[in-house]
Amino acid sequence: MKRAVALVVFLALTVHVSHAQAESATSDTEWKAVTVNEASGYRILQTILELQTFETRDFHTEESAASALLIQQWMEDIGLETQLQEFEADGLIVVNVIGTLNPQSVSSDLHLIGAHYDSRNRYVTSITEAENESAPGADDNASGVAAMLEIAYVLASCERFEATTRFVAFGAEERGFVNKSGLAGSSAFAQAEADGGIGYGATFVMDMIGFQTENDSRMTIVTNNESANIAQSVTDAVVAYDIDLLVDIVSDESLRYSDHASFWDHGYPSILMIEELDPSTGAPVNPYYHTESDTANKLSIKQMEEIASALIGAVLDLTGPGEDSYSFPYSTVLAVAGVSGLALVVVAIARRKRRVS
């Protein structure tokens, strides 16, 4: 009889705890899916429109410096802790804009999302021309900056996301008319992080994500062998969250034409997320980039939204269940409560037994 009571109680508790775990697993998937769906292509477009009003963001110009301050203000508005990091390019002081979400969280697996904010008109040959020629840079790369800010906004709005995440708008990615190397901002940033012993579990770079040739959303991921798992995390998210995006993965470490290469140089895992590449030239399909015609009206709102969603999904899944402060402690609390309850029942039965005997 007593054994039967104890067994029933134990079974009931077991069912209760495992049911709670199943429930929290379901809600775990749900809140992530809800968060992934928060990304808005219209907000991304709005940011691009505001960035292209600078006319140019050539890193030699005052407009470029002003756009960096606006990006910093936007990061502050989102709730990121910000700082400007100065570096030199073509003898000028240029800045990276760094924003950190959840700076207080204890996290051993820091993630970074970055995009360059400077633009370029390929026909410019002097500072005077840089100041006077238009380089709206909507696709290259207001699109990447705007998607990065959208991702920061969505993750900052999500109470259940607690992982420390860094967002960086890089300056002087473009080669400009003097400097032949390019990638100056990301190079300075990655060098400083490596010098400071800062580790990154994953770094994602977006550059030119808005143009499409047909009516479907496409993205190319450029990776090296060491970063294959990060590329996989993005394609996994596309499947898991049912995102309407065709992804082409290109594993080739000779493709160094954007800021991801600066991370590779210091052994950081990194991928570049970019629009469809022309199979014959290997260049992005947007024929207007680096010209005065790289404007927002040519971009796909949907494609940019899908890419932002995929990246949000990847970051949520990479931070893993260990970072989820709700489901795990909740089931632990239930399990502890269950064990305590069982102990009380056992004590009560023992007392009753003593009284009987």
User: What 3-state class would DSSP assign to 167?
Assistant: strand
Unique residue bearing structure tokens 């394609």: 235
Nearer to Zn ion, 284 or 313 (CB): 284
- Token pair of 233 as six digits: 């995390």
Q: How far is the CB of 183 from Zn ion (least distance, A)?
A: 10
Q: How far is the CB of 144 from Zn ion (least distance, A)?
A: 7
Identify which of 184, 4, 161 has the alpha carbon closest to the alpha carbon of residue 94: 184
Binding flags for Zn ion, 266-285, as an x/- string (CB under 5 A): --------------------
Indicate whether 207 belongs to the interface with Zn ion (CB under 5 A).
yes
Nearer to Zn ion, 47 or 141 (CB): 141
Indicate whether 220 belongs to the interface with Zn ion (CB under 5 A).
no
Contact segment (CB under 5 A) with Zn ion among 76-84, 164-172, 206-214, 275-283 equals: 206-214
Helix axes 301-319, 228-240, angle to 10 degrees: 110
Nearer to Zn ion, 120 or 166 (CB): 120
Angstrom distance (rounded) from CA 272 to CA 259: 8
Nearer to Zn ion, 207 or 324 (CB): 207
Q: How far is the CB of 205 from Zn ion (least distance, A)?
A: 10
- Name the burial class of residue 102, with classes exposed (0-12), middle (13-18) and buried (19+) by CB atoms within 10 angstroms of its CB: middle
Nearer to Zn ion, 133 or 140 (CB): 140
Q: How far is the CB of 146 from Zn ion (least distance, A)?
A: 13
Angstrom distance (rounded) from CA 183 to CA 343: 64
Nearer to Zn ion, 150 or 207 (CB): 207
Nearer to Zn ion, 141 or 303 (CB): 141
Identify which of 44, 226, 216 has the alpha carbon closest to the alpha carbon of residue 145: 44
Contact segment (CB under 5 A) with Zn ion among 10-18, 132-140, 249-257, 315-323 equals: 132-140
Angstrom distance (rounded) from CA 109 to CA 337: 32
Q: Give the count of residues interacting with Zn ion (CB under 5 A).
A: 3
Q: How far is the CB of 52 from Zn ion (least distance, A)?
A: 14
- Token pair of 199 as six digits: 């580790």
**Among 58, 133, 139, 140, which residue interacts with Zn ion (rule: CB under 5 A)?**
140
Q: How far is the CB of 27 from Zn ion (least distance, A)?
A: 39
In 90-155, which ranges are E strands? 92-101, 111-116
Identify which of 154, 318, 156, 153 has the alpha carbon closest to the alpha carbon of residue 237: 318
Q: How far is the CB of 295 from Zn ion (least distance, A)?
A: 15
φ and ψ of 85, to 5 deg: -115, 120
Indicate whether 306 belongs to the interface with Zn ion (CB under 5 A).
no
Indicate whether 141 belongs to the interface with Zn ion (CB under 5 A).
yes
Contact segment (CB under 5 A) with Zn ion among 136-144, 279-287, 308-316, 327-335 equals: 136-144
b/e code 238-253 from CB counts within 10 Å (16+ = b): bebbebebebeeeeee
Chain positions 86 to 125 lying near Zn ion, rule: CB under 5 A, are none
CA atoms within 13 A on the CB side of 155: 33
Angstrom distance (rounded) from CA 55 to CA 332: 56
Q: How far is the CB of 63 from Zn ion (least distance, A)?
A: 17
- Token pair of 193 as six digits: 């992080």
Q: How far is the CB of 141 from Zn ion (least distance, A)?
A: 4
Angstrom distance (rounded) from CA 295 to CA 49: 8
Nearer to Zn ion, 140 or 276 (CB): 140
- Which residues are at the interface with Zn ion (CB under 5 A)? 140-141, 207
